[in-house]
Amino acid sequence: MTDPFTGAAPAPRRMQLRGIHHVTMICADLQRTRAFYRDLLGLGVVREGDNDDDPGAQHVWFGDAGGSPGTLVTFLEYPQMDEGRVGRGSTHHLAFHVSSREELDAWREYLVGAGVPCSDVLERSGLRSVYFRDPDGHLLEIAAA
């Protein structure tokens, strides 16, 4: 895009955000969270151990086998914390992508069969999705274009 006044091309940006590297959430029980995200949803455990910023707090990273940015969801275990409250400053939901509408339908059937309550398949502006909650109440979405 050129400058409408000078016709010059803009200078290249020195800094540029490339996407989301990871999202970190808080859970009460990492064993329960691991069972949900690894065993039920099929995410790989990329790394686990003490949190670098809060030694003593356990931290688990889930994602693809290579730990690629954009696939990472991490959890810090804080069983003593109060339940979260939805409002400004909180996250509404986390959405995972699948490659087809048929795969989305299969995911919904799988989750319902595993006893996970899910929304119906919703269709909005070309996006189809289902919503459900993890054991700590985080709202999750699986979406397909």
Give the per-residue pLDDT at 9. 82
Q: Distance between CA 128 and CA 143 in Å, rounded?
A: 6
Question: Tell me: the pLDDT tens digits for 7-31?
Answer: 788 788 889 888 999 999 999 999 9
C-beta separation of 60 from 33 below 8 A: yes
The stretches in the chain having pLDDT less than 70 are: 1
